[in-house]
Amino acid sequence: MLERVLPTGTVTFLFSDMERSTQLVQKLGQEAFTSLLEQHHRILRAACSAHGGIDLGTEGDSFFVIFTDAVAAVEAAVQAQKELAAASWPDDSRVRVRMGIHTGSGVLGGDDYVGVDVNRAARIAGAGHGAQVLISEATRTLVADRLPDGVRAQALGSYRLKDLPGAEALAQLEIRGLPAAFPPLRALDVRRAHLPPESTSFIGRVNELDQIARLTSEHRLVTLTGPGGAGKSRLAVRAAAEVAHRFSDGAFFVGLASVTDAGLLPAAIASAIGLPEEPGAAPRTTLLTWIRERELVLLLDNLEQLEGAGPIIDELLSFAPGVRLLGTSRSRLHVAGEQEFPVPPFAVPARDADPSALEASEAVRLFLDRARLIRPDLTPADDELRIIVDICRRLDGLPLAIELAAARVRLLPLPAIRDRLLRRLDALVGGVSTVPRRQQSLREAIAWSHDLLDEPGKVLFRRLAVLSAGARWRRRRGSAAADLSPTSSAVSRLSSSRA
């Protein structure tokens, strides 16, 4: 056997390994997987050899190859990724290989390379995902003006990698015709909570956050329910952020307000995570394949309009044991194992409470905080605090309604705001223009719920709307049906209505 002559000085290291190889063994069986692995080896060896790479050893599905030219290493990676994507694999399996490339000092220790640059290349590869090629800043600098046609180096920023000092500036090779979108890198400083940033201060909800944190540790599906404007989404985002550190893959936000077809739920989740589209593969398949080994929290926001989402959610929970689902909806989802958490309105203190107690209440704090976004100098006297309490009470402690009322301080004094709340739907308008329409007025919030009803539900809603003094439900004895019992003051109005 001829002895290898290994170059020293400046060299380029390429590490690669196959994603989900354990699952492929379980899916295909040992014999078929061995055939797949041999095909994988042939593709990588041929690509590396064609560009002058020296194979330093294959361990299972991992390769360690050295090049004397950084451009050659990139060309080999590009060729290998293209051929892996085009190859036919047993049982329609998909072989996705992550690669890391770094240029540094080729220091020999015996018949192998040693030193921090070898470790750096291995850690760069380990930070990526299947079909992704990551390169170090040292390599990017050398190849920036000599990349193959159809390839660009997209800077990703700096990341801390395991066992390496300082942060590493990384780039991703974007190869025309191959996926370019991937989930966040597996780095030490990648934020665990991939959630919408908070544009305003978060007020109160300490007890609720503690309860949700406990429930997410005990149940795999927790649904926050409540009427529009109760603050479900804001509470869910904060709760997900506070538990994200428990899960190795963090927490992801999936906004569903614009999704009306339950069949699009897998695609929405995959897009929120950043999973690349697989040619010929349904988003559901791509999602289930990726999520199976993950430990994360998925925040599914606004599930109420996705009728028929239950089976998809149940499949996610069955297929991915390390996943927790945190949902928001105006009603429970009726999925096995679901834990409902009704989101309460803010408690409103008694009007005659001590002024310090009034100002410390969550409802009053929310009003003042949002009002001071418009009037920073607002410092209410004791009698004005009691007017704010009146406002919060008339709004039943509903956070969205309180925020909309607080926005009126630009135009109206506090007593006028209170008095105009006798016509709440007309008074509570003018929310922030960048939020969804259903959050810009109380009328829009109610319309959102109304439009989700089927036609018989809409008819019932309109008929109940005439009962200004309220109504009670009474179940008939021995029957699943129920009688609507209007209060006496509303009987005449109901009888004359043709709604």
User: 220-247: b or e for each residue (b if 16 or more CB lie within 10 Å)?
Assistant: bbbbbbbbbbbbbbbbbbbbbbbbbebb
pLDDT tens for residues 387-424? Answer: 999 999 988 899 988 998 898 888 889 998 888 876 55
Strand runs labelled E in 68-137:
97-109, 112-114, 133-136
CATH topology of domain 9-175: Alpha-Beta Plaits (3.30.70)
How many Å apart are CA 301 and CA 328, to the nearest integer? Answer: 5
Q: At which residue do the structure tokens 């400083």 appear?
A: 189
What is the number of other CB atoms lying within 10 angstroms of the CB of residue 160?
15
Residue 250: per-residue pLDDT: 87
- Do 77 and 14 meet the contact criterion of CB atoms below 8 Å apart? yes
With a cut of 80, say whether residue 427 has pLDDT above it: no
pLDDT tens for residues 316-370? Answer: 999 999 999 999 998 899 999 999 999 999 999 998 889 888 989 999 999 999 9
More confident residue, 467 or 498: 467
Residue 5: per-residue pLDDT: 74
Q: At which residue do the structure tokens 């699943």 appear?
A: 480
pLDDT tens for residues 478-498? Answer: 444 444 444 433 333 333 333
- Do 188 and 159 meet the contact criterion of CB atoms below 8 Å apart? yes
- Spatial neighbors of 463 by CB under 8 A, at least 6 apart, are 494, 497, 499
Tell me, yes or no, if the two domains 9-175 and 193-342 fold the same way.
no
Give the pLDDT mean for 3-13: 82
**What string of DSSP letters covers 128-162?**
S-TT-EEEEHHHHHHHTTSPPTTEEEEEEEEE--T
Q: Which CATH superfamily does the domain covering 193-342 fall into? A: P-loop containing nucleotide triphosphate hydrolases (3.40.50.300)
Give the pLDDT mean for 87-103: 91
With a cut of 80, say whether residue 186 has pLDDT above it: yes
Residues of the chain with pLDDT > 70, as a percent, come to: 85
How many Å apart are CA 136 and CA 121, to the nearest integer? Answer: 8
Angle at 344 between CA 337 and CA 307, to 5 degrees: 45
Quote the tokens at residue 33. Answer: 């997987």
pLDDT tens for residues 59-75? Answer: 889 999 999 999 999 99
With a cut of 50, say whether residue 147 has pLDDT above it: yes
CB burial of residue 482 (10 Å; 0-12, 13-18, 19+)? exposed
Distances (CA, A) of 245 to 253, 270, 297, 320, 373: 15, 21, 10, 18, 32
Give the pLDDT mean for 148-165: 88
How many Å apart are CA 211 and CA 251, to the nearest integer? Answer: 18
Instruction: Give the closest residue to 35 by CA, choosing from 96, 86, 93.
Output: 93
SS3 of 263-308: HHHHHHHHHHHCCCCCCCCCHHHHHHHHHCCCCEEEEEECCCCCCC
Residue 444: per-residue pLDDT: 59
Strand runs labelled E in 423-469:
none
Largest CA distance in the chain: 103
Instruction: Give the closest residue to 173 by CA, choosing from 189, 193, 149, 203.
Output: 149
Identity (one letter) of the amino acid at 327? G
Q: Cα(first)–Cα(last) distance of the chain, in Å?
A: 93
The helix (H) or strand (E) run that includes residue 340 is strand 338-342
pTM check: above 0.85: no
Residue 228: per-residue pLDDT: 83
Residue 20: per-residue pLDDT: 82
Q: Which long-range contacts (CB under 8 A, 24 or more apart) does 115-121 make?
A: 116/164, 117/13, 118/13, 119/163, 119/164, 120/161, 120/164, 120/168, 121/13, 121/14, 121/15
pLDDT tens for residues 114-136? Answer: 888 999 999 999 999 999 999 99
| pLDDT mean across residues, the chain | 85
Residue 1: per-residue pLDDT: 36
Domain boundaries, the chain: 9-175, 193-342, 355-442, 463-496
How many Å apart are CA 118 and CA 108, to the nearest integer? Answer: 11
Residue 490: per-residue pLDDT: 38
pLDDT tens for residues 193-210? Answer: 889 888 889 999 999 999
DSSP 92: G
